[in-house]
Amino acid sequence: MSQSELTITLTPWTSTTLGAGWEVINVVAHLSDGEQNSFMVARDGGGNIIEKTDVILERWEALNDEEGLQCFRRCFAESDRLANEKTVNTENG
């Protein structure tokens, strides 16, 4: 069985509920078979990560599952990498 190719799109977002101290990203995972999954996560300056659990009521919950936290940490690491690349390209530009 072959594994589907995965592409992740990260989009910076804002949340009026969380305020300025939180970095929010919308993560969209695209599988090569056309399926996709989307979720929102936020990180504060101390590295705490929360997940948006209700879009309409703007509810956020801390994640206690280590596997889920690792996934979200990878998303933020990729977001940081892309932001650094953009800064370097702008400075060299």
For the stretch 32-51, pLDDT in tens is 888 888 889 999 999 899 99
Reply yes or no on whether the pLDDT at 30 is more than 90: no
Domain that holds residue 33: 6-92
The answer to whether the predicted template modeling score (pTM) of the entire model surpasses 0.85 is: no
Q: What is the predicted pLDDT for the residue at 59?
A: 92
Task: Identify the H or E element spanning 62.
Answer: strand 59-62
Instruction: Find, among 13, 9, 76, the residue nearest to 36 by Cα.
Output: 9
Q: Are 49 and 60 in contact (CB under 8 A)?
A: no
Mean pLDDT over residues 16-38, rounded?
A: 86
Instruction: Find, among 2, 1, 3, 23, the residue nearest to 13 by Cα.
Output: 23
| In a domain? residue 1 | no
Q: What is the predicted pLDDT for the residue at 93?
A: 64
Q: Tally the domains of the chain.
A: 1
| In a domain? residue 41 | yes
Reply yes or no on whether the pLDDT at 17 is more than 50: yes
Q: How far apart are the C-alpha atoms of 5 and 49, rounded to whole Å?
A: 26
Instruction: Report the SS3 class of residue 89.
Output: helix
| In a domain? residue 38 | yes
